[in-house]
Structure 1
Amino acid sequence: MDTPGTVLKTERERQQKPLKDVARKLKINIKYLEAIEDDDYDVLPAEVFARSYIRLYADELDLDSTKLLALFENRGMAPAAEEPNEEEQETAPPHSAAAQKNFFRPLLISVAAGLLILILFFVLQNSEQKHEETAPVDDKTALHETIKPVIEKESPPPAALPAEKTESAEDKKPVVKPEQAEIKEEEKSVVQKMPEPQPEKAAAEKTPIRVEKKPVDKPAAPVTVYEQTAGEMTLQIVATELTWVSLSIDGGTPREWHLRAGETMTLKGQRGFSGKIGNAGGTKLYFNNQDLGELGAPGKIIDITLPR
């Protein structure tokens, strides 16, 4: 089964293009191109980068990138099992009658043995039940059981116990001493002298105080403004999604960076910047502190040259 790596490597070797030249032209790290040719995609930072690199590599070799991406998506599916040929099915030796008999013989023996065990079990159980029904009853135990309830009926009930002397309600009343009566009268007078709480103050104390919290707007992530010296250029790259950048500063060797959402990178040069942005919809550029606006759709690879 063909894979994206084998197709790309075969075509590159057919066109006699060194891998270093392809990496320099595409501005992609050569180790990533080697990983793609070996179908070792774990080396790449993310799956979105693998799709972008395969598309760029296929376009460089004038191959159909759509077919290669389809092979990349279906790389984990196993091929369907081959069906046996009709000739092989016809030439297969049939099972002999003797083999079939040998197969069913132990099965029949085990079934017959099981039926025999069940029949013996039911016969033994029925014989035990009949033996219990015809068992003789002892005359002494029967006579004892008939006499016992008669004796219990003739025995007189026990005499009622004499009722205990109960205390009357008047006896339970506590005896109040004159000193305790005077103390209770003083407590009543103190309770009557206590002032009643004013309803307005009580209502004011019970009423909860509402504290309104005004929502605080979160400030947007600030973009750092850099002071430029004479003849210096700055390029600030802000990633709003996962993206990759391959840029050359002042015409030098291209370098590659991978940025996650929220990360920012600033480059400085004297003559300008050129290269590729791997996710145009997830990248913001500020050239000399000026916002360059929307660069393209999410996932789209674009070329940039600054100053334009």
Structure 2
Amino acid sequence: MPTVGEILRSEREKQGLSIKDIEKATSIRTLYLSSIEADNYSVIPGEVYLKGFIRNYANCLGLDAKELLELYRQTSNLTDLEPEKTSDDCERTAVTPVSDRVGGSSKTNKLIVVGLVSVFLIGILSWAIGNRNNQPPQQLPDPKPAPTSPAVPVPQSSPNTLVPEKPAPQSKPIMVTAKYTDLCWTLVIADGKEVYEGTPKIGETLQWEAQSNLSVQLGNASGVEIIHNGQAIGKMGEKGEVLKKTFTAAAKP
């Protein structure tokens, strides 16, 4: 059975294209393209990037990217790749809630304490109500007639001063806008969840939001201009450079 690299190289040569032609069309560096064709994934910076490169390379040649990715999963040696920790791993290593680790005896003790506190509070409340009802009614002095005074014209009320409305707070503290000037494979993870993966068209503008952190991974760092919370950052790196940038929420004062 031919490998992923053999299929890509065979189709490229069949179409009379060079590695440089593929680099120009996909913005993937020649080093990575040659490594994929040789089925040598050790130079690829992680499996996420590798899958994106295979998908873009296949689409460029008109091949079925899903079939190639499935073939890669069946035949690849994942030990050649640098392991990446995903959000699923983080979820699996989450600390078990204390309530799940405490035995039934602890729960019983808590119920007893809550019951005693409730009885104590009810007793105090009953005593306070009974004590208030037993107090004699307060004797009020006879009201004296109020002296009459000449009528004073009532001044007209001034119009209410309008208070300018405060602008509505931003829904989420992290907002990243990406303007694409070249083809660039992109992966976006917001608050631990993948929200975008693909290669936008040249001239396209995308925007993502997050509550605590937002990670942007780029396969061609010079092909996109980044704006973070309204502040222009510009291009993130050189042409063909693989780059990952993480934005975090600023601490509240």
User: How does the TM-score come out when normalised to structure 1?
Assistant: 0.31
Higher strand share goes to which structure? Answer: 2
Which structure's CA Rg is the greater one? 1
Q: TM-score, normalised by structure 2?
A: 0.37
**Higher RCO structure (Cα 8 Å, ≥6 apart):** 2
